[in-house]
Structure 1
Amino acid sequence: MFLLLFLIPGLILCECNVSTGEDVQPTAVSPLQDIQKKVNELWSSLLYPHLYEEVLASNGTAYAVCTVKPSTKLDAGMPQVTGQVLFRQTYPYGKLESIFYLDGFPTGANLSGRAIHIHQYGDLSDSCDSAGGHYNPFKVNHPSHPGDFGNFYSKEGKIIKYKANLVATLFGPYTIMGRSVVVHVQEDDLGKGNNKASLENGNAGKRLACCVIGTCNKNQWVKRFSEIMEKRKKRLTRRAQNSPA
C-alpha cells in the first residue's frame, strides 16, 4: 500500500508532463518534482537495473540502440532496410534525442516519405508483425503517441537524421526500453486520413523493417553524432559560399 501511495503522484506528474507537451525541466526542483524523480529512480532501479547503473556511471546520461533489420515477410523486390536508431537522454529531466541512420532505400527523385514509429512490444518472434500496435500509454489518437516520429525522406538510399526534444523517454514507468522501432512502407498521414486507421497508425502501411530498443554505451552515439554535425557544417559552409554577397 505504501508503495502505491508513493508511486501515484509521480505517475500523474509524468502523464501530465507528456500530454501537455510542456517543458518539464525546472529552474528549481519542487517537492512534487522531487517525488517524480524518486519514482523514476525506483522504476529504473527495479525494472532496468543495468540502465540505472549505467546512468549513474555516465554523469546522468543514458544511451540506447535499436539495430534495424528487414522484415522477413517482405515481397520480392522490396527495400532491404538496415541500420541503427540511437537514443540519448540526460536523467531525469532531459529531452530525448535520437539519430536515425538507415540504408537500403530506393534511389532516385520524387521518393515518398517513410513513417517511423515506436511500437508496443519488443517481440520480433513473428518478424515485425509481432511488435504490436503503436506504443500508446496515454490512450490518445495518432500522431500524439510518444513514438510518433513522423516522416523521413531518403537521399541516395539513406536516411540520416538527428531529432531533438522528443516526447518519448528512456526513464520511468513510460520508458521505451525493450519496445520496438518500426520503419513502414508508406508515409504517415499524420492523423488526417479521415478514417480509423489514420488515428491509430497514420495509414503507414506494411512494416518494412524493425528492431528492439536496448541499452548501449556512448560509442555509437558519439560516432554518428560527429558524422552528422560534420555534414551539417559542410552544408552550411557551401550555402554561405553560394549565397549572393
Structure 2
Amino acid sequence: MSKIEGIILGVGAKKNHGFHIHAEGSLDNDCAGAGGHFNPDQKTHGAPDAEVRHLGDLGNVHADLTGTVELRIQDSMVSLFADEEHSIIGKALVIHEGEDDLGLGGDEGSLATGNAGARAGCCIIKEVTHFRN
C-alpha cells in the first residue's frame, strides 16, 4: 500500500478536483507536457477503488474555503519505489480544475479522463529516500 500525503494550495475553493498521476515527467506548457493519465495496462478511466481503472486514477480531492487541499491517499496499485512494477517515480502528479466523474459520465471523455477539466497544477514525483513513522 502506497501513501501519498501533502498539502496543495491555491486551487478552486470549496469543491472537488480530479487528481491523477500522468504518464510523463514533464511540467512543460502549463502541465500539458505531463501527457495523459498513467495507464500501462491500457484500461478505461475509473475510480481509485474500481476493478477497471487507469493506474494513475486517484479520484478526487476536496479543497476547503481557502483553496487548500490536505492530501491523504492510500493506493494499493501504485509503487513509490523506482525499481518496482507500476512505479510512479518520475511521473507527473496533476490536480484538475473540475471534479472527476470517475468514469461514470456516460461518454467517451468520461472513460478517457473522467471529464475533470483543465490542469490547475502539477509536480513531479521524486524517489523516496527516507521514511518517517
| 1:174-229 Cα shifts (integer Å, max 9, x gaps) | 211111101100000011111111001100000110011112433xx74xx8xxxx
Structure 2 residue 38 is matched with structure 1 residue 153: no
- Which structure 2 residue ranges, 5 or more long, are not aligned? 47-52
CA distance in 1: counterparts of 2:40 and 2:86, whole angstroms? 7
Counterpart position of 2:116 = 204
Counterpart position of 1:8 = none
Contact 2:80–2:128 (8 Å) recurs in 1: no
CA distance in 2: counterparts of 1:196 and 1:203, whole angstroms? 9
Structure 2 residue 44 is matched with structure 1 residue 135: no
Alignment of 1:78-227 (within 5 A): 95-107=1-13, 111-143=14-46, 144-155=53-64, 156-171=66-81, 172-218=84-130, 222=132
Counterpart position of 2:49 = none
Identical counterparts, % of pairs: 34
Contact 2:79–2:85 (8 Å) recurs in 1: no
By how many angstroms is 1:164 displaced?
2.1
Larger radius of gyration: 1
SS in 1 for 2:110: helix
Structure scoring higher RCO (CA < 8 A, sep ≥ 6) equals 2
- Which structure 1 residue ranges, 5 or more long, are not aligned? 1-94, 226-245
SS in 2 for 1:138: coil
TM-score, length basis structure 1? 0.47
| 1:99-153 Cα shifts (integer Å, max 9, x gaps) | 031111344xxx3200010000002232301111000011111011122111111
- Which AA in structure 2 matches 1:122? G
CA distance in 2: counterparts of 1:210 and 1:161, whole angstroms? 14
CA RMSD of aligned residues (A): 1.9
Instruction: Pick the structure with more helix per residue.
Output: 1
SS in 2 for 1:153: strand
Shift in alpha-carbon separation, 1:165–1:116, aligned structure 2, 3 A: closer
By how many angstroms is 1:163 displaced?
2.0
